[in-house]
Amino acid sequence: MNAHDTVASTDNLTKVYGDRVAVDKVTMTVRRGEVYGFLGPNGAGKTTTLRMLLGLIRPTSGSSYATSPVGALIEGPGFFPYLSGRANLRTLARHRGFDDAEVERVLERVDLAGRGDDRFKGYSLGMKQRLGVAAALMGDPELIVLDEPTNGLDPAGMADMRALVVDLARGGQTVLLSSHLLAEVQEICHRVGVIDDGRLLRESTVAELRGGVSIRVRATPEPEALAVAMRLAGDDGVQRTADGALQLTLPPEQAPWVTRELVTAGIDVHEITAAERSLEEVFFDLTSGSTTKKEAVR
């Protein structure tokens, strides 16, 4: 990676409010064209970090960089309640020097063109959220920062939003997505940064974060199955799980080969599946997984 690949970064970024450290020496890098998931429970410091990145608040120490232009939806959409969605976007477009055609384009993009003339104060939470995303898309910015964009969206709306984010990345735009919805991040992000209590605990690809995948086998008789498994995956590559199954540290595409070897050895295979740690499991491992946090991210 070279400097040209970086569209946003922070270096020891810190924000202190009184005696409370909201963000503690966060160093992260967002690369061009990727969907970067910024993960953390409520109150972890995600939004404060993003606000500093966008220049809305000043860091206590450290520095940040974001390419220009940036489109952003930060902590909920802020619009004039007495104006329609369309008029709100036109006001924003005038501030930024875009014409009305750009307003229509982004309204279409978030499926709000048909309700564009309704007043903002009459919008549902999901519609307000989509209008906020439309504002962030205006001008086709190189970097789009979305802070909890699926808040208030129904399941169909959430699926649409995920599709939009994927499509933006496919079109070459970089998306920095802050979320506490782990399944959403696992599904659409290339890399993630996990933040808790203001500190960045881990930054890596989703695959790296989840660790290696394995194959889970339930077979009998167990001693013979264990012997074959150790021959295939090595002595250190087999673990017995609490329910009596065997966990082989092998890629899932080798499951047919494992099945053949077991059957050839006269072993009955009752179950064989690819076993992966979910991002949720990894997340709770990283953040100590308190009950409160589990509730916060679900």
Binding residues vs other proteins (CB under 8 A): 51, 54-58, 68-83, 87, 90-98, 102, 105, 108-111, 130, 132, 135-140, 145, 157, 160-161, 163-164, 166-167, 170-171
In the complex, least distance from residue 62 CB atom to other proteins, rounded to whole angstroms: 15
In the complex, least distance from residue 110 CB atom to other proteins, rounded to whole angstroms: 6
* Rounded Cα–Cα distance for residues 80 and 98 (Å): 19
Instruction: Kindly tell me which of 144 and 215 has the beta carbon lying closer to other proteins.
Output: 144
In the complex, least distance from residue 200 CB atom to other proteins, rounded to whole angstroms: 21
* Rounded Cα–Cα distance for residues 33 and 232 (Å): 39
SS3 state at 252: helix
User: By CB neighbour count within 10 A (0-12 exposed, 13-18 middle, 19+ buried), where does 197 fall?
Assistant: middle
Contacts of 155 (CB under 8 A, 6+ apart): none
Instruction: Kindly tell me which of 102 and 184 has the beta carbon lying closer to other proteins.
Output: 102
Instruction: Kindly tell me which of 49 and 287 has the beta carbon lying closer to other proteins.
Output: 49
In the complex, least distance from residue 152 CB atom to other proteins, rounded to whole angstroms: 14
- What are the C-alpha distances in Å from 63 to residues 223, 272, 298? 58, 50, 32
126 φ, ψ (degrees, to nearest 5): -65, -40
The DSSP line for 216-234 is EEEEESHHHHHHHHHHHH-
In the complex, least distance from residue 259 CB atom to other proteins, rounded to whole angstroms: 39
SS3 state at 250: coil
In the complex, least distance from residue 199 CB atom to other proteins, rounded to whole angstroms: 21
Instruction: Kindly tell me which of 113 and 286 has the beta carbon lying closer to other proteins.
Output: 113
CA angle 293, 21, 75 (to 5 degrees): 60
CB atoms within 10 A of CB 266: 9
